[in-house]
Amino acid sequence: MKIKWLGHAAFHIETAKSKILIDPFFTGNPAFRDEERRDATAGLTHILLTHGHGDHVGDTIAIAKETGATVVANADLAAWLGRHGVKALEMGNTGGTINLGSFSTTFVNALHSSAQLTEDGVSHSLGNANGLVLHFEDEPTLYHMGDTDIFSDMALINELHQPEIGIVPIGDRFTMGGAVAALACQRFFKFSTAIPCHYGSFPIIDQTPETFVAGMESASTKVATPHVGGVVEI
């Protein structure tokens, strides 16, 4: 498995059978490098969305139309995307699992909001925010937390899914900060690898992962902090 960070909460996951984008926020993302777009969309099979905020839905509509990739999102967000011309949709909701062939994805809780101010100037509710747990046939289980604070039911997510790889928001202000994120990882999970995200993109959130890294020093978990465009191989 190859995991490429594309800035903010956007990731490209490549396995032997799938090429997946999670929260493909490219346009308007100060951390995204335009030269990454071609590789990020080539041969794409799936786009997975944690919630409806613009910095997570990002370029989903354009990429889906360009590639024909299947978009996986909560029911409200999927319906909204359908009205905007996205054809291949798989909708679910908190607690549900969708079998996508070479992997499945389960919608789990996240403590966050999920509305979007759209082109008509109206704020539309786009369902609940979620984390996503990806189970693969021959790869480690991956948990993208989405945007969230710490919450005690993370213990149940670990009990049910035993994720080995955690993608963890650490930027503070809109999500938990680095120290709390480190507490969440150590108290509730047994990740072999943790990859921080949702930092370094906008000036009002934390710019570095230093607080998270320091908080994880005593943990057995490997903390991977790739540069934007960098790949973590599992």
Share of the chain above pLDDT 90, in %: 94
- Burial class, 152, CB count within 10 angstroms (exposed 0-12 / middle 13-18 / buried 19+): exposed
User: What is the mean pLDDT of the segment spanning 219-228?
Assistant: 97
Alpha carbon of 155 to those of 96, 205, 215, 233: distances in Å? 18, 27, 19, 26
Does pLDDT of 131 surpass 90?
yes
Q: What pLDDT is recorded for position 95?
A: 98
List, for residues 180-202, the tens digit of each pLDDT value.
Answer: 999 999 999 999 999 999 999 99
DSSP string, 151-205: -TTHHHHHHHH--SEEEEE-BSSSS-BHHHHHHHHHHH---SEEEEES-SSSTTS
User: What is the mean pLDDT of the segment spanning 218-230?
Assistant: 97
Report angle CA 102, 105, 108 to the nearest 5 degrees: 165
Residue 83: count of CB within 10 angstroms of its CB: 8
- Looking only at the bridges linking them, the beta strands covering 2-5 and 11-14 are antiparallel
DSSP state of 81: H
Domains of the chain: 2-225 (3.60.15.10)
What DSSP element (H or E) covers 213? helix 210-215
97-101 long-range contacts, Cβ below 8 Å, gap at least 24?
Answer: 98/72, 100/18, 100/46, 100/70, 100/72, 101/17, 101/18
List, for residues 78-125, the tens digit of each pLDDT value.
Answer: 999 999 999 999 999 999 999 999 999 999 999 999 987 766 777 778
Does the predicted TM-score (pTM) go above 0.85? yes
Helix (H, G, I), strand (E, B) or coil at 207: coil
Residues listed for the chain: 234
Q: Give the relative orientation of helices 60-67 and 75-83 as an angle to the nearest 10 degrees.
A: 70
